[in-house]
Amino acid sequence: MIGEYKGSGYKETTYLLRRSDGQVIQASHLIYLVASYVDGQSGYEQIAERVSGDLGRPVSAESIRFVVEERLRPYGVIAQEDGSVPEKLERSSPLLGLRFRVGLVPERVVVTVASVFWPLFLAPVVLITLGGLLALDVWLLFFHGITQSVDEVIDQPLLILASSVLFTVATAFHEIGHASACRYGGAKPSKIGAGIYLVFLVFFSDVTDTYRLSKAGRLRTDLGGVYFDALFALLMAGAYFLSGFEPLLIGVVLIQLDILEEFEPFARFDGYYVVSDLTGVPDLFKYIKPVLKSLVPFWETDERVKELKPWARGAVGAWVLTTVPILLALTAVMLYWLPWLLANAWESFLGHYGETSGAFAAGRVLDGMVGLLEIGTLVTPVAGGVLFGALAGKRLGAATWRWLRDLGWEAVSRLVPWGRGGSGAVEGITTVRAGATPHSQGE
């Protein structure tokens, strides 16, 4: 029972529950109260009496029965009468969500590590860190420069492998930042893992429990990753001042460029979650269709848009109108260049494969390791692109089928003569103000 969704952008107060499989359910006050009072011992009459007292209005035992049997049990919030839970529960499938995720660091280890680092979020430490990063950038930009650092990296290919390892460590530290910020706010972080996002292999930190925090606590968690990036950049700068090793400054610059990328709000990076938590709307992508439909003249405003507060409706609408053209343009560019990219990727793969095999055969292990890294960097986005295309095609096909089905079976039968079929998909518990919300943050 996570509790009230604080700082919500909805007109009505929203409550959150979390199933045993990690899926978060958004619910009305009535549904949340019923779920909290179901204990396996109390009957419907007793639950109705308690719920009526909390709501300040009468609720019948039959209404409680309906909520339990038709809303909570089908979604696995409450077990069946025999104690079982359906094997396949409906889960949200968010647009542009993280796919094929695998946990790498278990929850107990993440909680332990986060408990060590959470003091870094004390106000004096944050101010010193930001001031130090500003001073470092001024020195690097106006006094030292990075030309010498770039020259050293180019002259020593082994440094490319070392830089990649160091950047992977920095990325893992970024995820620890999300978990530590979650712990600092009083919520409990879960596992850290990896998955495919869009076309890239990425790390993620499951900080779903941060939904129990205030808006400030959620924003702190959103920004915890880039804050730890700043800390890592300062650590690398400190190592440079101690050793004089110029390539370390390249890492300082790359990490800060990655910080800028994280603030991009049009995909599920840290910047997206900042916008989501500022508006108090958990999943912005699910409002793309309702907002666009509501802009069509003479069409009634979608109910999902009406449920938002006026200021939140304006903010979400602005995000949708900005995001949709950008995503469409990026998709068009990707599709236009895809054949050329695949052809060149294959040619490059063959070249790198030959060089890497030759390096290992000649005993040049380090050159071979660099070659494997280059091959991995080349293959990962291609494989991710294929998976992304397959998932997008599946989603588009399902959406097209639902659209045709909504036209009416007589119209569809003239287009699809082989039978009706059906998806059996559940869109969410929308009839009683409850539905599926995003499953994690900090991806």
The pLDDT assigned to 266 comes to 87
The secondary structure of 222-253 as a DSSP string is HHHHHHHHHHHHHHHHHHHHHH--THHHHHHH
Q: Where are the domains of the chain?
A: 3-93, 99-279, 322-406
The pLDDT assigned to 97 comes to 72
Between CA 314 and CA 309, with CA 303 as vertex, the angle to 5 degrees is: 35
Mean pLDDT by 10 residues, the chain (443 residues): 90 87 84 89 90 89 89 84 74 71 89 93 95 94 79 64 79 93 93 80 88 93 95 94 86 89 89 93 88 82 88 92 88 77 74 78 75 70 62 60 52 36 30 32 39
- How many of the other CB atoms lie within 10 Å of CB of 83? 7
Residues 78-111: tens digit of each pLDDT: 888 777 777 777 777 676 677 778 888 999 999 9
**Which of 188, 207, 189, 180 minimizes the C-alpha distance to 126?**
180
The pLDDT assigned to 389 comes to 61
The pLDDT assigned to 419 comes to 30
Is 0.85 topped by the overall pTM?
no
* Tokens 């359906």 found at: 86
The pLDDT assigned to 426 comes to 28
- Per the structure block, which two tokens stand in for 424? 């059996």
The pLDDT assigned to 385 comes to 61
Helix (H) / strand (E) containing 381: helix 365-406
Residues in the chain: 443
Q: 42 CB contacts (<8 Å, ≥6 apart)?
A: 50
The pLDDT assigned to 331 comes to 77
As a whole number of angstroms, the distance between CA 322 and CA 319 comes to 5
Q: 224 CB contacts (<8 Å, ≥6 apart)?
A: 121, 177, 178, 179, 180, 181, 182, 442
The pLDDT assigned to 443 comes to 37
- Per the structure block, which two tokens stand in for 234? 């300062």
User: What does residue 201 show for φ and ψ, rounded to 5 degrees?
Assistant: -85, 125
Q: Are 35 and 56 in contact (CB under 8 A)?
A: no
The secondary structure of 200-230 as a DSSP string is EEEEEE--GGGGGS-HHHHHHHHHHHHHHHH
The pLDDT assigned to 388 comes to 60
- Per the structure block, which two tokens stand in for 347? 């040619």
